[in-house]
Amino acid sequence: MAGSTATKNRSLIAAAVAAVGASICCVGPFVLLMLGVSGAWIGNLTALEPYRPIFIGVTLVFLTLAFRKLYLVPEACEAGKPCANPVTRRNQRLVFWVVTVILAALITFPWYGPALLG
């Protein structure tokens, strides 16, 4: 089903957006400083810090939905469709785990980020 693949993709995209929101207060200033951008306004990016737990929760919800679609819900697919190909399912699972690792790195940046900075 094309809709099932679209649902998996939307869940991963939504999780990625939420994780970026969760890490923008910490990763954003670091990236800007690494690019040579400076200024007092960078400190304003920490204004999102109180919302970090909400963004993390949303990220986990969408990752759970994607995991559920990939591993727990059997996929009904007609022969000859792309979803019937086991390689497609394997690639979807591979992308899921790559995205999950990247999102985990973004979410945990406040804990290991200070070690990177000095």
At 5-51, the pLDDT tens digits run: 666 677 777 777 777 666 666 666 666 666 676 665 566 666 767 87
Compute the mean pLDDT over every residue in the chain, rounded to the nearest whole number.
Answer: 76
Q: Look at residue 117 in the predicted model and tell me its pLDDT.
A: 67
Residue 15, Cβ neighbours under 10 Å: how many? 24
pTM score, whole prediction:
0.66
Query: Do 92 and 5 touch, CB atoms closer than 8 A?
Result: yes
Report residue 110 as tokens. Answer: 């406040």
First to last CA, the chain: 50
Report, in this order, helix, strand and coil percent for the chain, each rounded to 5. Answer: 85, 0, 15
d(CA 89, CA 92): 5
Query: Do 82 and 88 touch, CB atoms closer than 8 A?
Result: yes
Quote the radius of gyration of the chain (alpha carbons, Å): 18
